[in-house]
Structure 1
Amino acid sequence: MVFLAKIGVYAFPVVLLVVPMYAWFKGVRVYETFVKGAEEGFQIVLSILPYLVAIFVAISCLRGSGGLDLLSRALGVVLKPLGIPPDILPLLITRPISGSGALAVTGDLLKTYGPDSPMGLLASILQGATDTTFYVVTLYFGSVGVRKTRHALAACLIGDFFGFLTGFLIWRRLVF
């Protein structure tokens, strides 16, 4: 185990030294190539930034207006008979939209119920069971200029549904 810890400590500095040295020996102009890559990366950040701002503003409006709570109450009536705790619904709604928003909801659930509680376990499982679908679709398709995503969003949401379903089944198996 000590050996693995040592590898973790030294791996990154070794890579930082070996890769540029190898490139230099191969005749690559290392600094100029690095600066060109940084410039291209900066251009990508500038092209993605409007999409990031738009999705974060939409999420803030949803949370601030009480729309998230209203949607949670409406879905709670349907999902409670299925054994899904109503307090987990804000996480189910937020997770496909925003990773940071879902992490905040998970943090609230962990503070309220505790990390070792059934609700804390469920929140942790669901946090890792899916991805931020709307964020990913908006960011990736928007950054490359794709306007018609065809079936991508529906396929991703179906994936989210099955991710949540699998997470619930695992949780029920572990807890009950």
Structure 2
Amino acid sequence: MILPDLKTPLLWALGLGLVAALATAGIERTRAAGARADLASEKADRAKENTARAMAALVDLQRVVALVANHAKTQQENVNAFETRLKTLDDRRRTVAAERDRLRKQYNDFAARDRDQAAADPAACQRVADRSAVLAAMAARSRELLEGGRLVVEGRDNEVRLLLGTVKNDRALLAPP
């Protein structure tokens, strides 16, 4: 009886095992290379998305900066107009005060002259002089109150214009794009 040669099938089995192991290693390397390529592609896509988001944020920031700069400019214009109107009103207040003082002096002079002329008939003329002085004081006070009221109303109108301008400017800043 001849004994079969066991070395040959064993070598074949070892060779097949080695080929299978090499094939498996090659497949795994290919899978790993594919996974690395997918990961690199995913990283590149994320980098593009991050860049796009950063650019959108930059554009939005530039828009907001422009809006804030325009808001500040308009606000300054409103304040400057308000201050100009306040100065005008203050100048008018001084003019009104000077006019008031002039009228008061004029009425007092008239009353004094009336009193001097009434010296001939003291009883009757004194009543006229007293009434003249009272009327002069009332007229001066009335004019003073009227002018003061006008200035108060114009001052309030000026404040309302400033506040309306501020609100309009703030609404423009906060309006959606």
Q: TM-score if structure 1 supplies the norm length? A: 0.27
Q: Say which structure, 1 or 2, has more relative contact order (CA 8 Å, 6+ apart).
A: 2
Q: TM-score if structure 2 supplies the norm length? A: 0.26
* Larger relative helix fraction: 2
